[in-house]
Amino acid sequence: MSSSARFSAAVLAVVLSAFAACGGSDSAAATPTPASSVPTPTPAGGPWTLVFADEFDTPGALDPARWGYEIGSIRNNEAQYYTSRSENVRVEGGNLVIEARKEPYQGYAYTSASVNTKTRFEFTYGRVEVRAKLPTGTGTWPAIWTLGADIDQVGWPACGEIDIMENVGFDPLRIYGTIHTPAGSGANGKGSSLTVSNPGDDFHRYAMEWYRDRIDIFVDDQKYFTYRNDGSGTRGGWPFDGPQYLLLNLAIGGSWGGQQGIDDSLFPHRYAIDYVRIYKRG
C-alpha cells in the first residue's frame, strides 16, 4: 500500500502472479557489498514477548495512546477520503471496525479510515500478528502493513515497506505479502501470494516475523514468503535495521484496487480487526 501507483493487472499476471506491489519508482540503486556483510541466519525457536497489543474490548473511539489517523486523500489515486469519524472507524463488538461508506465528503464520493502507530509505537525486529475479517467486493483494497519511521526524512521507498496483508476485491480469495525497498519497489517489489478460504466471511491470522537476516510472512501460521537480507544495506535491498510502524487501512478504488471499477451496490464495507499483537524475541 505504497505512496505511488500500482502496476496494471496485465503486468501483475506477466511479472509474477504470486505477488502484489505497491508502486512507485526506485530512488536508489543497490550498492554491491561483500558477502561477509550478510547477517548470520537467525536460529529458530526461543520465546516471544508481547510488547504491544490492542484487543479492542472497549467500545467507542480508539485509544489515542496507541493509534493515530491519516486524514484526507493520501496516495495511489484512491477514491476515498480518510477520516477519524466514528462513522468510519470505531471499536464495536470486540473488533476494530473500519467502515468504507459511499457518501459525498470533502469533494470525494467515498469515505474510509486509515490508522497507524506512528510516533506511538515503533519497533525494530519482531512478530506482528493481526486477526481480521476482510471486506470483499469489486473496488475494495484492505491492508496490514508497516513503514519505516524515518519516512518523513528519507521518503518512500527508502524507508522500507512491509506489506503483511493486501487483498483486492476483484480477486477476493487471494492474499498478498510484499516487500518494497530502494532496490525493488512497485512492479519490482518482492513478494508472493496464496489463496485463502473465505477471508471475507471468516477471521484469519495475518502475520510477519522480522529478523536481522530475513522477513517471513504468514497466513494462519502458513509461511508463504521469505525475503532475505542480501547485505546491500539501506540504499539497496535492506532498509530494515531501524524502526517501523504499523498501519491498518481500507482503501476504495485506486491504481490497483480500482482496476476493475467500484461496485457501488455493495456499500458500506466493513473491515473487522479482532486484535493486533506485536512481539519481540526473548
Q: What is the mean pLDDT of residues 55-62?
A: 98
Question: How far apart are the C-alpha atoms of 140 and 79, rounded to whole Å?
Answer: 10
Q: In the numeric block, which cell numbers belong to residue 277? A: 499483537
In the chain, the N- to C-terminal Cα span, in Å, equals 31
CA distance 132 to 202: 8
Q: How far is CA 41 from the centre of its chain?
A: 25
Q: What is the band of 44 on the pLDDT scale with cuts at 50, 70, 90?
A: low
Dump pLDDT digits (tens) for 240-272.
999 999 999 999 999 999 999 999 999 999 999
161 is an active site residue:
yes
Strand partners, 218: 207, 223
Catalytic annotation present for 70? no
pLDDT, the chain, mean: 88
What the block records as the C-alpha cell of 65 is: 495512546
Query: Regarding predicted confidence, which is higher, 53 or 189?
Result: 53
pLDDT over 70 percentage in the chain? 85
Rg (CA), the chain: 18
Query: Contact 8/243 with Cβ under 8 angstroms?
Result: no
User: What cell does 264 get?
Assistant: 457501488
Instruction: Tell me the pLDDT tens digit for each residue of 83-116.
Output: 999 999 999 999 999 999 999 999 999 999 999 9
d(CA 30, CA 233): 8
What is the C-alpha separation between 263 and 245, in angstroms, rounded? Answer: 32
Q: Residue 177, SS3?
A: strand
Band the pLDDT of 16: cuts 50, 70, 90: very low
Q: Per the residue annotation, which of 78, 99, 161, 209 is the catalytic one?
A: 161
* Catalytic-role residue among 78, 99, 122, 166: 166
Length of the chain: 282
CA dist 26 and 213 (Å) reads 22
| Residue 64 backbone zone (phi > 0: left; psi -120 to 50: alpha; other: beta) | alpha
Position 2 scores a pLDDT of 55
106-160 pLDDT, tens digit per residue, is: 999 999 999 999 999 999 999 999 999 999 999 999 999 999 999 999 999 999 9
pTM here is 0.87
